[in-house]
Amino acid sequence: MSSATAVTTTDFDQEVLKSNVPVLIDFWAVWCGPCKMIAPHVDALAAEYAGKVKVFKVNVDEEPDIAGKYGIMSIPTLMFFNEGKLVDQIVGAVPKSAIAAKLEGLL
């Protein structure tokens, strides 16, 4: 079971844009090999930063409107939101430490 929750078009604004804590979104797809490589990192960080950061996953095949709105061209793409604004992103598979460093910068 993933520690990161799926977010959909229906709840995106409330969960991400109106969040009172920083948000990390993992844009992924079932067929994406690099997405599977970073999934354990994203899940671990969701658990480690519980209460301080919200961590969500967006399946680009199931939520094309969200992916399109943010111009997702390659996956995995990790987007970092703070106070309702996109403040940073990482494209591609990266070490857990690189993701954690971005999160630390938002706290």
User: CA angle, 89 as apex, 69 and 37 as ends, to 5°?
Assistant: 105
d(CA 56, CA 49): 12
d(CA 104, CA 66): 25
d(CA 53, CA 74): 24
Catalytic site includes residue 35: yes
Q: Which of 16, 23, 35, 39 is catalytic?
A: 35
Catalytic site includes residue 29: no
CB 78 within 8 A of CB 90: yes
Q: Say which amino acid occupies 6.
A: A
Q: Which of 32, 55, 75, 93 is catalytic?
A: 32
The SS3 call for residue 39 is helix
Residues with a catalytic annotation lie at: 32, 35
